[in-house]
Chains A and B, each alone.
Chain A
Protein backbone atom coordinates (compact mmCIF):
# COMPACT_ATOMS: atom_id res chain seq x y z
CA UNK A 1 0.00 0.00 0.00
CA UNK A 2 1.13 3.52 -0.77
CA UNK A 3 2.49 5.17 2.35
CA UNK A 4 2.66 8.69 0.95
CA UNK A 5 0.14 10.08 -1.53
CA UNK A 6 0.58 13.27 -3.47
CA UNK A 7 -2.40 13.71 -5.76
CA UNK A 8 -1.28 16.83 -7.63
CA UNK A 9 1.13 15.97 -10.45
CA UNK A 10 1.60 19.60 -11.38
CA UNK A 11 0.58 23.08 -10.28
CA UNK A 12 0.94 26.59 -11.59
CA UNK A 13 1.17 29.56 -9.28
CA UNK A 14 1.55 33.26 -9.90
CA UNK A 15 4.62 34.94 -8.50
CA UNK A 16 4.07 36.38 -5.01
CA UNK A 17 1.02 34.21 -4.39
CA UNK A 18 0.79 31.27 -1.99
CA UNK A 19 0.47 27.65 -3.06
CA UNK A 20 -0.55 24.57 -1.10
CA UNK A 21 0.82 21.14 -1.97
CA UNK A 22 -1.19 18.19 -0.71
CA UNK A 23 0.24 15.17 1.05
CA UNK A 24 -1.54 12.36 2.85
CA UNK A 25 0.16 9.49 4.59
CA UNK A 26 -0.64 6.07 5.92
CA UNK A 27 0.94 4.57 9.00
CA UNK A 28 -0.12 2.73 12.12
CA UNK A 29 3.07 3.72 13.92
CA UNK A 30 2.43 6.35 16.63
CA UNK A 31 5.93 7.78 16.16
CA UNK A 32 6.77 9.09 12.72
CA UNK A 33 8.22 12.09 10.95
CA UNK A 34 7.08 13.93 7.87
CA UNK A 35 9.39 15.77 5.50
CA UNK A 36 9.21 17.96 2.47
CA UNK A 37 12.04 18.12 -0.06
CA UNK A 38 12.51 20.31 -3.11
CA UNK A 39 14.17 18.97 -6.24
CA UNK A 40 15.13 21.58 -8.85
CA UNK A 41 15.91 20.54 -12.40
CA UNK A 42 19.54 20.05 -11.37
CA UNK A 43 18.45 16.92 -9.50
CA UNK A 44 19.65 17.63 -5.97
CA UNK A 45 17.26 17.04 -3.09
CA UNK A 46 16.92 20.03 -0.77
CA UNK A 47 15.38 19.56 2.67
CA UNK A 48 12.68 22.15 3.40
CA UNK A 49 10.76 21.31 6.54
CA UNK A 50 10.12 18.59 9.11
CA UNK A 51 7.13 17.72 11.32
CA UNK A 52 7.26 15.12 14.05
CA UNK A 53 4.13 13.16 14.91
CA UNK A 54 4.23 14.38 18.51
CA UNK A 55 4.86 18.02 17.66
CA UNK A 56 2.06 20.21 18.91
CA UNK A 57 2.72 23.13 16.65
CA UNK A 58 2.77 23.20 12.87
CA UNK A 59 6.32 23.50 11.56
CA UNK A 60 7.42 26.70 9.84
CA UNK A 61 10.66 27.55 8.05
CA UNK A 62 10.73 30.97 6.48
CA UNK A 63 8.24 30.96 3.59
CA UNK A 64 7.47 27.29 4.13
CA UNK A 65 4.88 26.04 6.57
CA UNK A 66 3.45 22.61 7.11
CA UNK A 67 -0.28 22.25 7.76
CA UNK A 68 -0.29 19.11 9.91
CA UNK A 69 -3.69 17.53 10.46
CA UNK A 70 -2.96 14.35 12.36
CA UNK A 71 -6.50 12.98 12.49
CA UNK A 72 -6.80 13.34 8.74
CA UNK A 73 -3.26 12.06 8.19
CA UNK A 74 -2.36 15.00 6.05
CA UNK A 75 0.77 17.14 5.94
CA UNK A 76 0.28 19.82 3.34
CA UNK A 77 3.10 22.20 2.45
CA UNK A 78 2.29 25.88 2.06
CA UNK A 79 4.73 28.08 0.17
CA UNK A 80 3.96 31.74 0.71
CA UNK A 81 4.97 34.63 -1.56
CA UNK A 82 6.10 32.32 -4.38
CA UNK A 83 9.26 33.19 -6.24
CA UNK A 84 10.45 32.12 -9.67
CA UNK A 85 13.15 30.08 -7.98
CA UNK A 86 10.49 27.96 -6.29
CA UNK A 87 9.78 26.23 -9.60
CA UNK A 88 10.77 22.63 -8.91
CA UNK A 89 9.49 19.20 -8.00
CA UNK A 90 8.37 18.84 -4.39
CA UNK A 91 8.35 15.54 -2.55
CA UNK A 92 6.60 14.61 0.66
CA UNK A 93 8.29 11.83 2.63
CA UNK A 94 7.76 9.89 5.84
CA UNK A 95 9.98 8.13 8.34
CA UNK A 96 8.39 5.60 10.67
CA UNK A 97 9.44 4.83 14.23
CA UNK A 98 13.19 4.56 14.68
CA UNK A 99 13.80 3.63 11.08
CA UNK A 100 15.66 6.37 9.28
CA UNK A 101 14.64 5.22 5.85
CA UNK A 102 12.29 7.56 4.02
CA UNK A 103 9.26 6.65 1.91
CA UNK A 104 8.58 9.24 -0.76
CA UNK A 105 5.44 10.36 -2.52
CA UNK A 106 5.21 10.70 -6.29
CA UNK A 107 5.97 14.40 -6.18
CA UNK A 108 4.30 17.60 -7.36
CA UNK A 109 5.81 19.85 -10.00
CA UNK A 110 5.37 23.52 -9.19
CA UNK A 111 5.78 26.15 -11.89
CA UNK A 112 5.85 29.76 -10.79
CA UNK A 113 4.71 32.25 -13.40
CA UNK A 114 5.96 35.84 -13.55
Chain B
Protein backbone atom coordinates (compact mmCIF):
# COMPACT_ATOMS: atom_id res chain seq x y z
CA UNK B 1 0.00 0.00 0.00
CA UNK B 2 1.06 3.60 -0.56
CA UNK B 3 2.93 5.64 2.00
CA UNK B 4 1.57 9.09 2.78
CA UNK B 5 3.88 11.58 4.45
CA UNK B 6 2.60 14.73 6.06
CA UNK B 7 4.71 17.63 7.25
CA UNK B 8 4.79 19.07 9.81
CA UNK B 9 3.50 16.42 12.17
CA UNK B 10 2.77 19.11 14.71
CA UNK B 11 3.35 22.81 15.20
CA UNK B 12 2.55 25.63 17.54
CA UNK B 13 1.63 28.81 15.72
CA UNK B 14 0.95 32.41 16.61
CA UNK B 15 -2.37 34.05 15.93
CA UNK B 16 -2.47 35.85 12.59
CA UNK B 17 0.22 33.77 10.93
CA UNK B 18 -0.16 31.19 8.16
CA UNK B 19 1.15 27.65 7.95
CA UNK B 20 1.47 25.32 4.99
CA UNK B 21 1.03 21.58 5.42
CA UNK B 22 2.53 19.23 2.88
CA UNK B 23 1.22 15.84 1.80
CA UNK B 24 3.47 13.56 -0.25
CA UNK B 25 2.39 10.17 -1.59
CA UNK B 26 4.87 7.62 -2.87
CA UNK B 27 2.65 6.69 -5.82
CA UNK B 28 0.40 8.56 -8.19
CA UNK B 29 -3.15 8.93 -6.95
CA UNK B 30 -6.18 10.33 -8.69
CA UNK B 31 -7.96 11.81 -5.71
CA UNK B 32 -6.66 13.66 -2.69
CA UNK B 33 -8.67 15.19 0.10
CA UNK B 34 -8.02 17.42 3.08
CA UNK B 35 -9.90 16.89 6.33
CA UNK B 36 -9.99 18.82 9.58
CA UNK B 37 -10.53 17.32 13.01
CA UNK B 38 -11.14 19.86 15.72
CA UNK B 39 -10.35 18.79 19.31
CA UNK B 40 -12.67 16.02 20.47
CA UNK B 41 -14.62 16.15 17.22
CA UNK B 42 -15.07 14.03 14.15
CA UNK B 43 -13.50 14.60 10.76
CA UNK B 44 -14.87 17.22 8.42
CA UNK B 45 -13.94 17.44 4.76
CA UNK B 46 -12.35 20.75 3.82
CA UNK B 47 -11.83 20.23 0.10
CA UNK B 48 -10.90 17.93 -2.74
CA UNK B 49 -7.47 18.77 -4.15
CA UNK B 50 -7.67 18.64 -7.94
CA UNK B 51 -4.53 18.16 -9.99
CA UNK B 52 -3.93 21.09 -12.27
CA UNK B 53 -7.02 23.03 -11.28
CA UNK B 54 -8.58 24.81 -8.34
CA UNK B 55 -9.62 22.75 -5.35
CA UNK B 56 -13.28 22.00 -4.72
CA UNK B 57 -14.29 23.33 -1.32
CA UNK B 58 -17.03 22.06 0.96
CA UNK B 59 -19.64 24.31 2.47
CA UNK B 60 -18.14 26.48 5.18
CA UNK B 61 -14.60 26.42 3.79
CA UNK B 62 -13.18 29.04 1.43
CA UNK B 63 -10.09 29.32 -0.68
CA UNK B 64 -8.87 32.52 0.97
CA UNK B 65 -8.69 30.77 4.33
CA UNK B 66 -7.53 27.35 3.13
CA UNK B 67 -5.65 27.69 -0.15
CA UNK B 68 -4.72 24.32 -1.62
CA UNK B 69 -2.24 23.41 -4.29
CA UNK B 70 -1.83 20.16 -6.18
CA UNK B 71 0.89 20.50 -8.78
CA UNK B 72 1.08 16.78 -9.61
CA UNK B 73 -0.43 13.39 -8.81
CA UNK B 74 1.75 12.74 -5.76
CA UNK B 75 1.83 16.04 -3.86
CA UNK B 76 -0.51 18.59 -2.32
CA UNK B 77 -0.33 21.43 0.16
CA UNK B 78 -2.91 22.98 2.43
CA UNK B 79 -2.32 26.42 3.89
CA UNK B 80 -4.17 27.61 6.95
CA UNK B 81 -4.19 31.38 6.61
CA UNK B 82 -4.44 34.11 9.22
CA UNK B 83 -4.80 31.57 11.98
CA UNK B 84 -6.88 31.97 15.10
CA UNK B 85 -7.18 29.63 18.10
CA UNK B 86 -10.30 28.15 16.49
CA UNK B 87 -8.04 26.72 13.78
CA UNK B 88 -6.31 24.48 16.32
CA UNK B 89 -7.00 21.05 14.86
CA UNK B 90 -5.54 17.97 13.31
CA UNK B 91 -5.39 18.38 9.55
CA UNK B 92 -5.35 15.13 7.60
CA UNK B 93 -4.53 14.40 4.02
CA UNK B 94 -6.25 11.40 2.47
CA UNK B 95 -5.97 9.68 -0.87
CA UNK B 96 -7.99 7.23 -2.86
CA UNK B 97 -5.96 4.14 -3.59
CA UNK B 98 -6.66 1.24 -5.89
CA UNK B 99 -6.27 -2.02 -4.08
CA UNK B 100 -8.02 -4.96 -2.58
CA UNK B 101 -11.25 -3.06 -2.18
CA UNK B 102 -10.96 -1.57 -5.61
CA UNK B 103 -10.91 2.17 -5.37
CA UNK B 104 -13.22 2.35 -2.39
CA UNK B 105 -10.87 2.96 0.47
CA UNK B 106 -9.46 6.30 1.54
CA UNK B 107 -6.05 6.08 3.16
CA UNK B 108 -4.97 8.82 5.53
CA UNK B 109 -1.71 10.44 6.40
CA UNK B 110 -0.63 10.63 10.02
CA UNK B 111 -2.04 14.13 10.35
CA UNK B 112 -0.65 17.52 11.25
CA UNK B 113 -1.58 18.69 14.73
CA UNK B 114 -1.71 22.48 14.87
CA UNK B 115 -2.06 24.54 18.02
CA UNK B 116 -2.71 28.26 17.59
CA UNK B 117 -1.92 30.52 20.52
Q: Do A and B bind each other?
A: yes
In whole angstroms, what is the CA distance A95 to B104 when docked? 8
Contact between chains at A42 and B106 (CB < 8 Å): no
A104: chain B residues at CB < 8 Å are 42-44
Contact between chains at B107 and A42 (CB < 8 Å): no
Q: Please give me the residue from chain B that is nearest to A50 by CB atom.
A: B101
Question: In angstroms, how far is the closest chain A Cβ from the Cβ of B40?
Answer: 9
B12: chain A residues at CB < 8 Å are none
A35: chain B residues at CB < 8 Å are 105-106
In whole angstroms, what is the CA distance A43 to B101 when docked? 24
Instruction: State the total of A-B contacts with C-beta under 8 angstroms.
Output: 51
Chain B 29-72 interface residues, beta-carbon cutoff 8 Å to A? 31, 33, 37, 41-45, 48
Secondary structure dominating the interface of B: strand
Q: How large is the interface on A (under 10, 10 to 19, 20 to 34, 35 or more residues)?
A: 20 to 34
Does A11 count as interface, using CB distance less than 8 angstroms?
Answer: no
Question: In angstroms, how far is the closest chain A Cβ from the Cβ of B89?
Answer: 11
Q: C-beta contact mask, B97-115 vs A, less than 8 Å → 1, else 0?
A: 0000101111111110100
Query: Which are the 3 A-B pairs with shortest beta-carbon distances?
Result: A45-B108, A43-B111, A44-B110
